[in-house]
Structure 1
Amino acid sequence: MNRSPATLLAALLCLPSVPALAQAKLPVEDFARHAEINSAALSPTGEYVALAVPNEDGMETRLHIVKLDGSGSTQVLRFGKQQHVTSLTWSDNDQIVVSRAKMEPLEARPYSYGELMSSDVAGKTQETLFAYVPDAGQQRGRRKDRGFATVVKVLDDEPGQVLVDFTAWPQRRGDEDRPTAIYKVDTRSGHRELIEQTSETATFMFDHSGRARLKTTTDDNDDPVLMYRPGAGNDWQPVPKTLAGYNMSLLYVEADNNTAYAAIVDKGEPAQLYKVDLAKGTRMRLAGREDMGIGRVLYAGHDGPPFGVIFDEGKPSVQYLDPDSEWAKLHAGLLKAFPGQMVSILDWTRDNKKLLFLVWSDRNPGGYYLLDRSNNKVQLVNEVMPWIKAGSLSPSIPISFTTSDGLTLHGLYTGAIGKGPQPLVVLPHGGPHGPYDSWGYDSDVQFLANRGYGVLQINYRGSGGRGKAFLESGYLQWGGKMQDDLADGVRWAIAQKLADPSRICTFGASYGGYAALMQPIRYPDLYKCAIGYVGVYDLQVMKKKGDIDDGASGRRYLDRALGTDIAQLKAWSPAQNAAKIKVPVLLAAGKDDLRVPMDQFNALVNAFKAAGTPAETLVFDGEGHGFYKPEHRAELYRRIEAFLAKHIGPDAR
């Protein structure tokens, strides 16, 4: 970090106005650097804030405990060399639990591998709660937990006690039998008590007292199987259709351990927010939309029910359950204090007098703030990326258009508005089924816009954010209607005078890399170049190589998403149709990618060689499904900048 978080506590000043258009060309390193803060959590009394702080190269993340008394006192805790801390959870006023994370080739970031550690704020009494600790010579490791542990509930009435979900590792590669257990854990001593157990993988959800009331497993078709306890003392029984037709998630249960708030899906619609009577098996709809899913739920204080929801797949909007409620007015006031930005409330003190919130936008990666409700004083804790200045970036404008077959799609356009047609980069998101592009800061998008390109992001059919039916409408359409949606979006941008039709390129990662190479095959007249980054290029290879194929559920998913028609898989594989790609291509990959292994990259490169088509390449050792090291990310940006300048830049014709 450039500065200690403790020194950054300052009263909120008036925010500067943000220019409408980006101006200065920023160094690539500004977009490639890791955030100064990965996450934050406020202690129950408001005496401390815990921060996950990565070192400069991002290869280790330490826990900073900042005392909020103005003393500047910061305790730095380390949980192992080149280890990372994530999922910060206060279990008591001076006790915190973290998930220990590590770098894996699968992800371009650290991710938890199911180990839970706890510590007091001084770091004097650290405890390994869950981990697999191998024996070292004559010394036997204390923990032999062969599984993945996650804190799922803090028991406020029992300080220091939490509920932990522990799901076993597969016994063999591809094994689907992974039992789940729920333990009550003392985070100071490490003592644990088994309170729930099932022979299959399950998700448990709890009432106010910590009793499991909803259990979700999956059937042979990977659809949810819902069981619940109508009363705390009842046995498990199927959830009646009066509550949920397809899926249900308990979000909050009141102190009566019966009145609940749940996100419910009956068929294929986006989840709706309901108030539920568990004993009677009845419900009342509170919020939701038929065309868009709930992106976030807003809660009334430390231990309160939902007071609103946020929709973010299209134009961001907030729906308060009661606009005149205390918490709705508070949230609306914070939005007013930070015009043009969104506010996410993250933590509250137990008495609700102080809260920690995040302010973010399309041009602001985020800033953590504290609000003292006794005097309405707001203090900045730390900006996520303080070197990023909103005035140097471009606005992201939510857009909507109608496809050639009459479907309304949403997306984002980032770049100069009102300057006439600009060179355009089409940036399809990865996934593809589930993820979606939403309004907020994106380093790839802002880098491209800062170099003078318009950036078009489209939530094509199959994307998340609009419910089960919309997601499944992309099944068997990877190279079909999902590609048509992207092309329709490009035509819309041309018609709106946002895009210069003679200067358009595609760029994407993972599925986005697949789409980036399929677009010039399906629509050769639209594009001048294509960039594939850790992309899928051969659908037959995808069904044989990579971690999705490891288990039966993954193979079932691939059959649903891709189909089993070999001729169709070949027709919709860029590597099988490389001779049809007539535009310049840049391909980037990580040698240790487990999700999309090098077999994909090699298949396309070899196909280009066989066709006599040149392609630029960039491959790094030690990188996985996306580049993580800042120097590698910076080099990728340099290569992309040079490639785009050559083919769709100001002098390219």
Structure 2
Amino acid sequence: MTRTLLARWTCALAFVAAPAMAQQIPASDFARYADLDEVALSPTGEYLALAVPSVDGHETNLQIVKLSDGSTVKTLRFGRESHVMDVTWTDDDEITVARAKRFPMVEYKSHMGELMSTNLTGDKQRTLFAYTLDELTQRGRNKDAGSAYLEEVLDKEPGKILVSYYCWQTIKECGEKADTIVFKVDSRTGTRKEVERIKDGDSESSLVFDHDGIARVAYSDNEDGTPHMSYRPTPTSPWMPLPASIAGYEISGGVFAQDNNTFYGRVSDKGEATQLYKIDMAAGTRTKLFGRDDASVGTILLGGRAGEPFGVSTTSPKPSVQYLDPASKWAQLHAALMQRFKGQMVYFLEFTRDDSKVLFWTSGDRQPGNYYLLDRGNNNKIVQVGSRKPWFDGKTLAQVRPIEFKTRDGVKLFGFYTAPVGGGTGPRPMVVMPHGGPYGPSDDWGFDAYAQFLASRGYGVLQVNYRGSGGRGDNFMNQAMREWGGMIQNDITDGVKYAIDQKLADPSRICMFGGSFGGYSALMQPILNPGMYKCAIGYVGVYDLTMLVRNKESESEDTERFFVRSLGEDTAALAKASPAFRAKEVKVPVMLVHGKADSNVRMGQFRAMDKALRDIGQPPETFLAPGEGHGFSNPDNITELYNRMATFLDKYIGPNATTAATQ
């Protein structure tokens, strides 16, 4: 990583892209882990802290770089299969990180609820929160039976941070319903003091803090999945129910102004898509600033160390930026950078204490992401300090086009069409790639390695944000409850018909590919739409819903309640909506891909679908990977998956394929 950083250290912004490469990009390039996961700027502007993954993806180390010469001060390892994320400077020479796990099929890592801190040289490392297992007769030092998340750095108290702590189970110290506890922690010594305990609600609370570190908004879930909202009108007020004058349904995050009374919040009144409001907390009044009926508010853009809200950005249904005050110095700077990096989104990440230096990030549909440092005291000079995937520089990648269409029942849906590289004009072979979930996740405009790989092999890629997807409010998501094999599939089908009508897809050359719920859809779609597809690839998919419900019965009460709400308990209906029970209706060539160590969608799902197809004389192509979980994490296995997919697709819908006959 040091070589990559130094090689780019003095690069001017006004560089010219290298000529497009004529040769095909190797599959292994799409499977590689990023060179860089995170960058954080020290408050003085003297150092950068970087989360740097190993080549094999088995660990992520913390690297500290001196800005004056680009030299590495220290590289800190935290152990095999140990990753760091949420890299945060808690003082001028102190860094706190979260221990993380890298989950397959997800670009970024996931927090494991453990926090560690270190000084610049690494000789004073300490674990702030963790649970350490006992080894034989030696008792583990840390016994925090819960998950900890860094919420706020208290600039007025160097080294002090606020941490939210959630118990794993109901124990005496955590209350009857597992209270949410807030600790003030000294990141240098590890000492902690409880400053807040949230008892309200049926589940753990997400909190929003003001600039003095006082929790002012609390969000949790009721047993039926609806939001439970509480707030403090003033910093000294007791917790009370959130009034409808502020939000009738929920506040989904936001940020306080410096007066600790004005709150910029994402508000939904009746479960619709969130809108951005400027709220007077003490008066209980609000003014709408931005919003649209069919898409929730995106990222609230903040300027300066003080976190001044100056705009809103969104990548769905298409990339856009709305400035709250175009005359703001931060809005003007951001607008200038958007012009400089046309075709990409720009996000401010970190500011020095005096706001003289700004760390920012750019990314787009054909750009996996770059980090830059802007020096406001030196004519806004910009240098690139890191790139996530520099091996794509100068390569020809595919454009991702936002689309929208009406469903058969008149609902407007959004999605994306990734155009095939070198595809020319006219209908092209197309792969339909529904996202997982199905409730909550969504596809957004940006760099997608799977879509880009398929496009590099000459295929258009269709992604549909069907009902059930996130980003449009709970009402939109809840419409699709118990509709795995119904409304959701109809939405995907209507998206395919739109692509055909728009001459994006050759109707004789369409295949399905998806992971998890997308794998379920890949097998369900040919059943519901005979003749529409020529092949299907199910990746760690769910194929027997009755088995899925049985397996989830052993999990938490919250999980069981969710599956009852989302799938129901009618065994006959679940069987009817299960591809494994309807294998005779699939009637297209199938590839099944699974990780042998998948603990989320277990191997029983693969076996059920594989057996059902073999029993009717239509054995699928299969790829089982030892040691892999819910999606592959080993780059070699991911590369092999890509290559097998390409061979399979080429056989049935590729340029030299005859119209695939049913098996």
Secondary structure at the counterpart of residue 438 of structure 1? coil
Answering whether residue 482 of structure 2 is matched by residue 479 of structure 1, we say: no
Distance in 1 between the 2:627 and 2:648 partners?
A: 24
Match of 2:546 among 505, 530, 540: 540
SS in 2 for 1:463: coil
- Structure 1 residues not aligned, in runs of 5+: none
Cα drift, residue 17 of structure 1: 5.7
1:557 and 2:557 correspond: no
1:204 match: secondary structure? strand
Equivalent in the alignment of 2:522: 516
Matched, 1:384 2:388: yes
Change (3 A) 1:363 1:451: same
What is the CA distance between 1:619 and its match in structure 2? 1.0
Deviation at 1:176, TM superposition (A): 9.7
Preserved CA contact (<8 Å) 2:9 2:70: no
Give the aligned partner of residue 650 of structure 1: 655
Contact 2:231–2:242, Cα closer than 8 Å, also in 1: yes
C-alpha separation between the residues in 2 aligned to 1:640 and 1:2?
35
User: Which moves more between the two structures, 366-375 or 177-186?
Assistant: 177-186
Q: Displacement, 1:592?
A: 1.7
Equivalent position of 1:396 in the other structure: 400
Match of 1:218 in 2: 221
2:360 pairs with 1:354: no
Output one character per residue of 1:193-220: Cα deviation in whole Å (capped at 9) or x when no partner. Answer: 0011245522222121111222223222
Q: Distance in 2 between the 1:316 and 1:107 partners?
A: 21
**Pairing partner for 1:576 from 578, 581, 587:** 581
Shift of 1:559: 2.0
Task: Deviation per CA, 1:560-597: give whole Å up to 9, x if none.
Answer: 22223322211111111111110000011112222211
Q: How does 1:188-227 map to 2 (within 5 A)?
A: 188-199=188-199, 201-227=204-230
Shift of the alpha carbon at 1:491?
1.5
Per the alignment, residue 639 of structure 1 pairs with 644
1:386-436 deviation per Cα after TM superposition (whole angstroms, max 9, x unaligned): 101354211111111222222221111112464211111001111111111
Q: Give the 3-state SS of the residue equivalent to 2:3 in structure 1.
A: coil
Superposed, 1:5-16 pairs within 5 Å as 5-16=5-16
Aligned to 2:184: 184
Q: Which of the residues 252, 255, 263 maps onto 1:252?
A: 255
Aligned to 1:496: 502
| DSSP-derived class of the 1:542 partner | helix
CA distance in 2, matches of 1:490, 1:574: 20
1:623 positional shift = 1.1
Q: 1:23–1:422: structure 2 CA closer, same or farther, 3 Å change rule?
A: farther
What is aligned with 2:337? Answer: 334
Deviations along 1:319-376, whole A, 9 cap, x unmatched?
A: 1111221111111100111111111211111221111111111111111111111121
Task: Name 1:603's counterpart in structure 2.
Answer: 608
CA-based RMSD of the aligned residues comes to 2.1
Cα distance in 2 for residues equivalent to 1:454 and 1:551: 41
Q: Describe the shift of the 1:2–1:353 C-alpha distance in structure 2 as closer, same or farther (beyond 3 A).
A: closer
3-state SS of 2:390 partner: coil
SS at match of 1:269: coil
Asked whether the equivalents of residues 166 and 181 of structure 2 are also in contact (C-alpha less than 8 Å), the reply is: yes
Which position in structure 2 is the counterpart of 1:616? Answer: 621
Deviations for 1:273-319, whole angstroms, at most 9, x for unmatched residues? 11112211111111111111122110122212321111222121111
Are the structure 2 counterparts of residues 643 and 2 from structure 1 closer, same or farther at C-alpha, using a change threshold of 3 Å? farther
Amino acid at match of 1:262: G
Aligned partners of 1:208 and 1:252 also within 8 Å: no
8 Å contact kept, 1:65–1:74: yes
Amino acid at match of 1:370: L
| Distance in 2 (alpha carbons) for counterparts of 1:128 and 1:411 | 43
1:244 touches 1:264 (CA, 8 Å); kept in 2? Answer: yes
The residue correspondences of 1:59-74 to structure 2 (distance < 5 A) are 59-74=58-73
SS in 1 for 2:536: strand
Query: Where does residue 434 of structure 1 map in the other structure?
Result: 440
Match of 2:661 in 1: none
Relative to structure 1, the CA distance from residue 7 to residue 16 in structure 2 (aligned partners, 3 Å threshold; closer, same or farther) is closer
Q: Provide the C-alpha distance between the structure 2 equivalents of 1:315 and 1:499, rounded to a whole number of angstroms.
A: 21
Amino acid at match of 1:195: V
Closer, same or farther in 2 for the Cα pair 1:385/1:25, shift >3 Å? same
Which structure is higher in RCO with an 8 Å CA cutoff and minimum separation 6?
1
**Cα distance, 1:12–1:432 mapped onto 2, change above 3 Å:** farther
Deviations 1:456-513 (A, max 9, x none): 1111111111112111121122111211111111112112221111111000001111
SS of residue in 1 equivalent to 2:367:
coil
Task: In structure 1, give the amino acid aligned to 2:493.
Answer: A
Give the alignment partner of residue 298 of structure 1, picking from 296, 301, 315. Answer: 301
| Aligned counterparts of 1:278 and 1:152: Cα–Cα separation in 2 | 21
What is the SS of the residue equivalent to 1:63? strand
Amino acid at match of 1:592: A
In structure 2, C-alpha distance between the alignment counterparts of 1:420 and 1:493, rounded to whole Å = 11
What is the identity, as a one-letter code, of the residue corresponding to 1:633? I
Q: Report the Cα distance in structure 2 between the residues aligned to 1:639 and 1:280, rounded to whole angstroms.
A: 61
Deviation at 1:454?
0.8
Alpha-carbon distance between aligned partners in 2 of 1:201 and 1:12, rounded to the nearest angstrom:
47
Listed one character per residue, the Cα deviations across residues 110-163 of structure 1 (whole Å, up to 9, x for unaligned) are 533211100011112111111112445665443211111110111111010000
User: Match of 2:182, as an amino acid?
Assistant: I
Counterpart contact for 2:303–2:348, Cα < 8 Å = no
Q: Which residue of 2 aligns with 1:116?
A: 115
2:430/2:459 contact within 8 Å kept: yes
Per the TM alignment, residue 232 of structure 1 is displaced from its structure 2 partner at its CA by: 1.6
Secondary structure, counterpart of 2:243 in structure 1: coil
Provide closer, same or farther for how the CA distance between residues 483 and 432 of structure 1 changes in structure 2, counting only shifts above 3 A: same
Structure 1 length as normaliser, TM-score? Answer: 0.95
2:272 to 266, 269, 272: 269
Q: Which residue of 1 aligns with 2:49?
A: 50
Q: 1:343 to 1:197 in 2, by over 3 A?
A: same
Indicate conservation of the 8 Å contact 1:108/1:626, yes or no: no
Shift of 1:616: 0.7
- Residues of 1 paired with 2:108 and 2:281: CA distance? 40
- Residue 639 to residue 465, structure 1, CA distance change in 2 (3 Å): same
Q: Does 1:567 align with 2:567?
A: no
Partners of 2:262 and 2:496 in 1: CA distance: 48
Instruction: Label 1:239 to 1:22 Cα distance change in 2 as closer, same or farther (>3 A).
Output: farther
Does the C-alpha gap of structure 1 residues 567 and 63 become closer, same or farther in structure 2, counting only changes over 3 Å?
same
Greater shift, 569-578 or 592-601, is seen at 592-601
Q: 1:464 to 1:176 in 2, by over 3 A?
A: farther
Q: Would you say the 8 A contact 1:22–1:450 is kept in 2?
A: no
1:454 aligned residue: 460
Q: Aligned with 2:382: secondary structure?
A: strand
Match of 1:526 in 2: 532
* Rounded Cα–Cα distance in structure 2 between residues aligned with 1:551 and 1:9: 50
In 2, the alpha carbon distance for the partners of 1:151 and 1:418 equals 49
For 1:420-453, what per-residue CA distance to the aligned partner results, in whole angstroms no more than 9, with x for missing partners? 1111100111111111111110110000000011
**Which residue of 1 is the match for residue 318 of structure 2?**
315
Q: 1:51-78: CA deviations, max 9, x gaps? A: 1001110101100111101252342011
Structure 2: tracts of 5 or more residues without a match? 659-663
Quote the Cα distance in structure 1 between the aligned partners of 2:252 and 2:508: 48
Q: Distance in 2 between matches of 1:432 and 1:28?
A: 28
Determine the C-alpha separation between the residues in 1 that align with 2:482 and 2:134.
49
SS in 2 for 1:11: coil
| Deviating more after overlay: 50-59 vs 290-299 | 290-299
Q: Which amino acid aligns with 2:488?
A: M
Letter matched to residue 655 of structure 2: P
**CA-to-aligned-CA distance 1:149-190 (integer Å, 9 cap, x gap):** 110111111010000011111259xx9943321100000000
Distance 1:22 1:632 in 2: 26
Q: Secondary structure at the match of 1:366?
A: strand
